[in-house]
Amino acid sequence: MVEAPQTDEGWFALHDFRTVDWDAWRDAPEHERRRAIEEGVAYLNSHEAVEDAAEGTSAIFSVLGHKADFMVVHFRPTLDDISRAERQFEQTALAEFTEQPTSYVSVTEVSGYVSDDYFEGNKEDIDTGLLRYIEGKLQPDIPDDTYMSFYPMSKRRGEKHNWYDLPFDERRELMSVHGDTGRKYAGKIKQVIASSVGFEEFEWGVTLFGDDPTDIKDIVYEMRFDEVSAKYGEFGEFYVGRRFPPSDLGAFLAGDAVPTSEFGDESHHHAHAHGEGGHHHGEGGHAHGEDGHHHGESGHGHGEGGHHGGDSDDEADETDIRGQLDDLNIYAGKPHGEDVYATVLYSEADADEVFEEVEGLRGNFDHYPTHVKTAVYEANDRDRNAVVSIWETASAAETAAGFLSELPGIVERAGEESGFGTMGMFYTVKPEHREDFVEKFGVVGGLLDDMDGHFDTDLMVNLEDENDMFIASQWRSQEDAMGFFRSDEFRDTVQWGRDVLADRPRHVFLA
């Protein structure tokens, strides 16, 4: 008997498609149109703020072509929440001018292709990046300011090619190969796959998000050549559109371009409300991981996770630390007048293998204006590598961590250890003083070993530039780290560094 993979379900989803009766809209008195817009905006704002449920997310998209005019997407914890959201729209004056030509009901899921440990209850053995990926698949965010493509799909059950006749291991391998194609679009395309088995005619609903609509076309086209799609994929109608904030509903109905200000209206940020203690996946929502995008039964991969850089307590702590460093005349991470954030992951794989993978991801990261730098650093006296990605926002750094957690040999992420991880310290050394700097690090490292509360410190060297070095320390507490920064030894080191460094060092917070 062919083995069916286990599944775990998350939030329920409704893709609510609407057409507008344009004749009725044009003929309606101005006060009726105004009321419809006001009630429509109120409904959309309320649901983007998730005032109707404990957690979830919603958004509105324009839809091109004859199949619909706009689509409202809801993700909620229960099917009853979804039903209520749909019926509440019908109570608005806007609903009087719309019809519902189609809709799609589904539920987010992960399957046994993702991790045996996850389904066997051994969650303590699962990599933290994979856990963040799973959480992101089960409770997805909807990316801001992006194009969207939605389509349903099923696995073929024909006489010649029947997906459900294939052994489990063969299905897993096919999807792994499929995911290799999808990974090339990490940073360009985000996706949400939700199961509709038992709910709809098709078995899955796929929603793709991207800043460039041609990237959506390219990934669907390229993945059609993978065996898992070429032989076993069956697809329904495609819908394409663009997200816009609820405040632009009047402009949309008037035929104006939306979004009117490229999401300049801050009100749209209420879209991602996950409830108390919830998570926010930042810029970029979902990496393609191993599952590519449209093979349905979610293959193995690591995605993004919730960031801790945006919480008010963390921001207050960062401000306090920066202030203390500034009082000590220590540069505290404001290159070019902007705060930057770093995510650091350590790998025990071969440095060249890691670099090859990072180089591909870096090309995608460079499409984002918030990307500052991503590089691979090799430990000076230890057999491991550090992958460092620096961004202008904590959420972007956190999203990058999701992509980077898929790299080979990842063993841990800086900042996940107990205690206090200091800012990453990035130094560009004058070539003629490189050996002096390494020697000085050895001396300072010896001093650190004797300091109360110090766990370890690494000196890492950029594979592409031996004069670019990265230092990160782990301490028992923030106060222990600040004790070192206040010491005469550190002050002397900073003074000495002014002669050997080519640029001012960056002391960057770990995101």
pLDDT at 435 over 80: yes
pTM comes to: 0.57
Cβ pair 328, 485 in contact under 8 A: yes
Residue-averaged pLDDT of the chain: 78
Helix and strand numbers (H, E) in the chain are 15, 20
One domain, residues 331 and 253: no
Sequence-separated (6 or more) residues with CB below 8 Å from residue 255: none
In angstroms, the CA 392 to CA 397 distance is 8
- For residue 146, what pLDDT is reported? 85
One domain, residues 282 and 321: no
- The pLDDT tens digits for 325-343 are 555 444 444 433 346 777 8
Cβ pair 447, 437 in contact under 8 A: no
Q: Which amino acid is at 325?
A: L
- For residue 437, what pLDDT is reported? 82
pLDDT at 286 over 70: no
Question: Is 304 within the bounds of a domain?
Answer: no
- What's the domain count of the chain? 2
One domain, residues 359 and 458: yes
> Higher-confidence residue: 58 or 186?
58
pLDDT at 478 over 60: yes
- For residue 150, what pLDDT is reported? 98
One domain, residues 35 and 171: yes
> Higher-confidence residue: 62 or 335?
62
Cβ pair 22, 150 in contact under 8 A: no
Structure tokens at 384: 């491991």
Query: What's phi and psi for 20, nearest 5 deg?
Result: -100, 135
In angstroms, the CA 140 to CA 209 distance is 12
Lowest-confidence range among 5-19, 295-309, 381-395, 419-433? 295-309
Question: Is 412 within the bounds of a domain?
Answer: yes
One domain, residues 403 and 445: yes
Find the catalytic residue in 113, 118, 147, 151.
151
Q: How many residues does the chain have?
A: 511
In angstroms, the CA 268 to CA 275 distance is 17
Span 165-170, average pLDDT: 89
Cβ pair 67, 76 in contact under 8 A: no
Question: Is 299 within the bounds of a domain?
Answer: no
Name all contacts of 113-116 with Cβ < 8 Å and 24+ positions apart: 113/5, 113/171, 113/172, 113/175, 113/290, 113/291, 113/297, 113/298, 113/299, 113/300, 114/298, 114/299, 114/300, 114/301, 115/300
Instruction: Note if the bond before 259 is cis, omega within 30 degrees.
Output: yes
- The pLDDT tens digits for 351-376 are 889 998 898 888 888 888 888 889 99
- For residue 370, what pLDDT is reported? 82
Helical residues (DSSP H) of 112-268, grouped into ranges: 116-119, 128-138, 168-183, 213-223, 227-230, 249-253
Least Cα distance to 174 among 292, 287, 286, 288 occurs for: 292
Structure tokens at 82: 């979804």
Give me the DSSP letters along 170-203.
HHHHHHHHHHHHHHTTTTTEEEEEEE-TTTSSSS
One domain, residues 176 and 247: yes
One domain, residues 164 and 266: yes
Strand 371-379 and strand 454-462: the pairing is antiparallel
**β-sheet bridge partners, residue 20:** 98
Question: Is 489 within the bounds of a domain?
Answer: yes
- The pLDDT tens digits for 383-434 are 778 898 888 777 788 788 888 888 888 876 655 544 455 545 677 888 998 8
In angstroms, the CA 145 to CA 242 distance is 8
Q: Which amino acid is at 109?
A: E
CATH number of the domain within which 72 lies: 3.30.70.1030
- For residue 155, what pLDDT is reported? 93
One domain, residues 171 and 229: yes
In angstroms, the CA 454 to CA 438 distance is 20
One domain, residues 153 and 255: yes
Query: Which residue range is the domain that position 497 belongs to?
Result: 312-510
CATH number of the domain within which 421 lies: 3.30.70.100
- 316's torsion region: left (phi>0), alpha (psi -120 to 50) or beta? alpha
113 is catalytic: no
